[in-house]
Amino acid sequence: MRFEFIDRVSDGDILAKSIFSRDGKVLLRSGMKLTHGYIKKLKQLEVFYIYVKDERLEDIDVEDEKLNEIKLSAAKALGGVIRNIDNSSEVDLKTPVAIVEELMDYILNIGDVNKSLYDIKTFDNYTQVHSIDTGIMSLFMGINFNVPKSDLVDLGVAAILHDIGKIKVGNEIINKKGALTNEEFEKIKMHPIYGEEILSKNYNVSNRILRIIREHHEKLNGKGYPFGLKGDEISKLSQIVSICDVYDAVSNDRIYRSKFSPNDAYELILSEGDNSFSMDMINNFRKTFFVYPLGCCVKLSNYTEGYVISQNSGYPDRPIIRVLYDSKSKKPIPFYEIDLLTNINLTVIGIV
């Protein structure tokens, strides 16, 4: 399958990864033939890329039905938590905790990070999908840090609920186009405190979860918020959620700005070593996640274009690519592969 920008999708292309609505219903199921009408509707929903089938890339498979099922359950559970808060009801976290435990067990046993990210996010479902993806990323990092299972559950729950305090900030600020005023930004900076206040009313929420939510915008250099904590004052689990929150946020389009390209988003994280994040956290991030998603088309420094078909562990920016066509004429050619780990004179210069 190919990871394709929506403007490069054509009538007759076959959808290779299902697209879901905010409430978990299937908008378009994998295997559907795309028409002009479907493509137009996806653009209206601000879907900027999709996966399409390609027999030349049939060995790439990022559709994971079981993971989709768990994610949809998580989205519904998160929606239930938000509705209870809106209705001033007691927050019941039994279902979210159970789902995080299921998700953790799934990732521990057969989870594939390449199938876990790059969901199709419409503007309507961004907030909930962002929270769930932050939770999944945090679990992958926590596992690589050898975080104990009991702590992993708290990490996952906190990551999924990390932005719950934004409910008290107001959509007029959260979804504002353009720059925030100083007063509006001060309100945004309160959402970690609001989140802790909301969840502290529920005696089932551990202090570890509350701390992560309180600290997820703190930075190593003390320039974060709401308390300006520094260094070891910030818990390791809070830092994990923080780095995953930032990466997922900048990797997706928002109402007030366009997303970063995958390499720019990745470089942003790496550039924050010893500023926002410890180098230990940065190195774990590099070991856990890759720069370029499977199936995306990249341009190399010799101007050859090809599709990422595999990753090289420990080398997040040096995947294996498959060249399908002549980069100048765009005509199909007998395909061949380039391993950037062995072809060290070549680098990726952009996504096509």
Angle between helices 207-215 and 236-250 (to 10 degrees): 50
| Residue 126 binned pLDDT confidence (cut-offs 50, 70, 90) | low
Q: Structure tokens of 82?
A: 């938000």
Query: Per-residue pLDDT tens for 44-84?
Result: 887 778 899 999 998 988 777 788 788 878 877 887 787 77
- The full set of domain ranges for the chain reads 2-57, 65-288, 297-351
pLDDT given for residue 344 in this prediction: 93
Could you give the strand order of the β-sheet that contains 305-312, starting from the edge strand earlier in sequence? Answer: 332-339, 315-325, 305-312, 297-300, 348-351
The three-class DSSP label of residue 182 is: helix
Q: Is the pLDDT of residue 88 over 70?
A: no
pLDDT given for residue 256 in this prediction: 41
CATH assignment, 2-57: 3.90.105.10
The three-class DSSP label of residue 335 is: strand
Is the CB of residue 140 less than 8 Å from the CB of residue 288?
yes
pTM of the model: 0.84
Give the pLDDT mean for 149-173: 89
Query: Per-residue pLDDT tens for 221-271?
Result: 999 999 999 999 999 999 999 999 998 877 765 444 455 566 778 888 888
Is the CB of residue 158 less than 8 Å from the CB of residue 208?
yes
Find the angle CA(285)-CA(109)-CA(142) to the nearest 5 degrees: 30
Q: Which is more confidently placed, 145 or 204?
A: 145
Burial 196-225, CB ≥16 within 10 A → b, else e: bebbeeeeebeebbbbbbbbbbbbbeeebb
Q: Which is more confidently placed, 328 or 236?
A: 236
Evaluate whether 2-57 and 65-288 have a shared fold.
no
Q: Which long-range contacts (CB under 8 A, 24 or more apart) does 24-31 make?
A: 24/72, 24/75, 24/76, 30/63
Is the CB of residue 160 less than 8 Å from the CB of residue 100?
yes
Give the whole-angstrom CA distance, residue 59 versus residue 94.
39
Give the pLDDT mean for 4-24: 83
Architecture of domain 65-288: Orthogonal Bundle (1.10)
Query: Closest by alpha carbon to 161, among 204, 123, 223, 116?
Result: 204
H or E stretch at 300: strand 297-300
Q: Is the pLDDT of residue 148 over 90?
A: yes
SS3 sequence of 65-103: HHHHHHHHHHHHHHHHHHHHHHCCCCCCCHHHHHHHHHH
Query: Per-residue pLDDT tens for 167-221?
Result: 888 778 877 777 888 999 999 999 999 999 988 887 678 999 999 999 999 999 9
DSSP 8-state symbol, 165: G
pLDDT given for residue 223 in this prediction: 95
Query: Closest by alpha carbon to 284, among 139, 70, 81, 130?
Result: 139
Q: Which is more confidently placed, 209 or 109?
A: 209
Q: Structure tokens of 179?
A: 């720059």
